[in-house]
Amino acid sequence: MPDTTISSLPASSATFDSVVPADSADGTLTSKVTLGSIAALGGGPPASHATSHGSGGADPITPAAIGAVATSDARLTNSRTPTAHAASHAAGAADAITPASINAAAASHTHVLSSITDAGTAASRSVPVAGNASSVQVVLGSDTRLSDSRTPVTHAASHRVTGADYPAPVVVSPSLSVNQNDWTPGVADMYFASASGNVTITGLAAPAGDGYAVTIVNTGASNNITLAHESPSSSAANRFRSAYGGNVILYADGGSATLVYHAAALRWRVL
């Protein structure tokens, strides 16, 4: 058959007997041929030849030639930091992680006491429903023994001067420069007072009740301190009253007097 050109093809439903027009190469002759005759010339699907396209074949196809990734591509096996996705693992999310899946305890769970290594000695004790606890129970905050009054065991010896619980006296060391009316040197058992000149004290702030005793010692080196008898310069309840009706002089460097408050008389009595 001379060189021909097929100018049109039949519909997809055509068979081998279908006829198509064929023009000569120079366009001077038009013939009609069947599709079957065209197939006989060597057309149709190629013979099996996949091996020719394999690696090492005559016509190999590479992954790059068809836009594929080689199995040796490092991106298929390299380690990498995942993108942020913690929310996907939260409860109710698409990829939720449950406590069981990571061998963790649920938020609400129980333990037997023997499984708790730091339970303490009180954990195994029962608690009374009401009232005072027994010797093997935990004490309630309402246990009457926490607030009841009781007589202390005998312990007077511990409060003696040489005892372990001796109540040390409170000492205040005021320094005087002028006379003092209704003197308020602070609450103390002992006053180690000194003066920059001879001064007079006309009264001492009264205590809260009867029988309080204080001692005043003049520790100054050269000036006297006088306790005025019944001086009107101080309030009546703060005044001093001496047994002999006169002023009491605390001489420099050791002069002293002990005062006891007599509530009925509203006076400090000088001993």
pLDDT in tens, the chain (271 residues): 456 666 666 666 667 677 777 777 676 766 777 766 666 665 555 667 788 888 788 888 888 788 888 888 888 888 888 889 888 888 889 888 888 888 888 878 888 767 777 766 767 788 888 899 888 888 888 899 888 888 888 888 888 878 888 888 999 999 999 999 999 999 999 999 999 999 999 999 999 999 999 999 999 999 999 999 999 999 999 999 999 999 999 999 999 999 999 999 999 999 9
Residue 227 falls inside a structural domain: yes
Whole-angstrom CA distances from 168 to 61, 111, 159, 163, 164 are 106, 54, 9, 11, 11
Please report the pLDDT score of residue 80 as a whole number.
84
Q: Where are the beta strands (DSSP E) in 89-242?
A: 171-172, 175-176, 190-195, 199-201, 213-218, 225-227, 240-242
- How many Å from the N-terminal Cα to the C-terminal Cα in the chain? 160
Distance CA 236, CA 230 (A): 8
Contact status, residue 248 vs residue 226, Cβ threshold 8 Å: yes
Q: Dihedrals φ, ψ of 48, to 5°?
A: -55, 125
Domain that holds residue 191: 171-270
> What is the side-by-side order of every strand in the sheet holding 4-6?
4-6, 19-24, 30-34
How many structural domains does the chain have? 1
Distance CA 203, CA 122 (A): 59
Please report the pLDDT score of residue 211 as a whole number.
95
Residue 103 falls inside a structural domain: no
Residue 150 falls inside a structural domain: no
A 10 A CB-CB count for 107 gives 7
Residue 61 falls inside a structural domain: no
Distance CA 82, CA 78 (A): 12
Please report the pLDDT score of residue 16 as a whole number.
67
* Contacts with 189 (C-beta within 8 Å, 6 or more apart), sequence order: 169, 170, 171, 213, 214, 215
Give the Cα-Cα-Cα angle 85, 87, 88 (nearest 5 degrees): 70
Residue 100 falls inside a structural domain: no
- Can you name the residues that pair with 56 across neighbouring β-strands? none
Residue 184 falls inside a structural domain: yes
Give the Cα-Cα-Cα angle 113, 117, 122 (nearest 5 degrees): 60
Residue 213 falls inside a structural domain: yes
Residue 105 falls inside a structural domain: no
Contact status, residue 241 vs residue 229, Cβ threshold 8 Å: yes
CA quadruple 262, 195, 187, 205: dihedral, nearest 10: 40
Please report the pLDDT score of residue 234 as a whole number.
98
For tokens 């702030």, name the residue.
Answer: 205
Q: Is the pTM of this model over 0.75?
A: no
